[in-house]
Amino acid sequence: MTVTNNMQVNIDRLKRTIDKSAQIGEIPGNGLCRLALTKEDKEMRGLFLEWMENVGLTTRVDDFGNIYGRREGLSDLAPVVIGSHLDTQPNGGRFDGILGVLAALEVIHTLNDNGIETDRPIEIVNFTNEEGARFEPPLLGSGGLVGVFDKEFVYSRKDNAGKTFEEELNKIGYKGSIKNRLQRIHSYIELHIEQGPVLENKQIAIGAVEGIKGMTWLEIKVSGESGHAGPTPMAMRRDALMAASKLFVHIEEKAKSSDEDISMTIGRMSIYPNVANCIPGEVVFSLDVRHIDDQVRKEFVAEIKEEMEQICQQEQVQLEITDLWDINATAFHPEIIEQIVKSAKEFDCSVTRMVSGAGHDAKYINQIAPTGMIFVPSIGGKSHIESELTLDDDIEKGANVLLHCVLQLSGKEELTTKIKESIH
């Protein structure tokens, strides 16, 4: 394979595919609502399959609804895999995940334009339900693929309307075959927007992601006693919301004082009876805790559980904690990280090594293959909202770094011999 060092993606073509994607599930504010396994997701999947077939890829769908497009290589080696996800948050943006899939498609376009045949096959992938906005937990498609979740668990997940993952997968016609799963992967690279403010604030074009923070999700229920807001004296109340509010403040203050790299988020809450003139008798809320050091995260969670119990005893309310999700931190492959840095420098792009605070499909694929991620800046650090924005110039730089990493991984012996081939 002859590698052309000055080969670059066609940014105008990539922008057109992003713009076309942004019309499917479009919502006010330049955002997207394209939840997994909805009619909007079905429409986008159909267009994506059409685009892949138009560039000569052989397509298939596995039993989790993951979609693949394969470009054959000069030999039947394990493929280099690139991609991300096409589903969004309810009030999501037009780049999260989508950029990684459509930039992967543009890589194939560019190789075809230049008549490049790679030694290894290249496969691009769209993973199902990465966001977890409709079916919890997130990363069901990639997690099912690598065996983190078994099929029964994935298929039984329900949305807020009580519809199961399997029912909706069948409904949109994307319940494929187990034989279509990825069987061998040489390496995996995912291009993604940063979803945070670091790159923009440092005025750096490319993030070479070294790993992903570990995560703990808890559901916390505080139970007091409901009553009429008027006749019940303040001193005689067991107000679940007032008690929960003290937990909120304590958790935040502890996180800020314990470790600058720890993050905590209370992102979801329900109140019962949720009436203006009734004392809240029950509050249920989520707690998301993240850190790159698993020991630090686990110790923080253990301590906060004990301290919440103490506060609830003082407030004379009951506390119930349910562990929803716990996943360790991820360290990506050093050779792939180094290649991302090298490719960025070859394009005169500023680059930094960094850690991802968000979970991505690469987190699970890393369990079965050498993996890396490329970050590009998010304006204002905003993501999971309609105003999510990454500039065209940064998109072009990220896609070019992805292109040249793929060229190296799929054809350069001095690099590929350093990466142990994984066959699963």
Among the residues of 11-119, which ranges form H helices? 11-21, 39-54, 98-113
Residue 288: count other Cβ atoms within 10 Å of its Cβ: 16
Q: Please report the pLDDT score of residue 419 as a whole number.
A: 57
Q: Please report the pLDDT score of residue 104 as a whole number.
A: 98
Find out whether 73 and 124 touch, Cβ atoms under 8 Å.
no
Q: Tens place of pLDDT for every residue, the chain, 424 residues? A: 444 567 999 999 999 999 999 999 999 999 999 999 999 999 999 999 999 999 999 999 999 999 999 999 999 999 999 999 999 999 999 999 999 999 999 999 999 999 999 999 999 999 999 999 999 989 999 999 999 999 999 999 999 999 999 999 999 999 999 999 999 999 999 999 999 999 999 999 999 999 999 999 999 999 999 999 999 999 999 999 999 999 999 999 999 999 888 999 999 999 999 999 999 999 999 999 999 999 999 999 999 999 999 999 999 999 999 999 898 999 999 999 999 999 999 999 999 999 998 889 999 999 999 999 999 999 999 999 999 999 999 999 999 999 999 999 998 544 454 554 443 3
- SS3 label, residue 330: strand
What's the half-sphere exposure (Cβ side, CA atoms, 13 Å) at 131? 26
Q: Please report the pLDDT score of residue 260 as a whole number.
A: 86
Q: Please report the pLDDT score of residue 424 as a whole number.
A: 37
Q: Please report the pLDDT score of residue 418 as a whole number.
A: 55
Query: Element (H or E) spanning 68, and its range?
Result: strand 67-71
What are 183's strand-pairing partners? none
Phi, then psi, of 8 in degrees rounded to 5: -140, 155
What are 215's strand-pairing partners? 290, 327
Residues 188, 193, 196, 199: what is their CA dihedral angle, to the nearest 10 degrees? 90
Angle at 87 between CA 83 and CA 88, to 5 degrees: 120
Give the pTM.
0.85
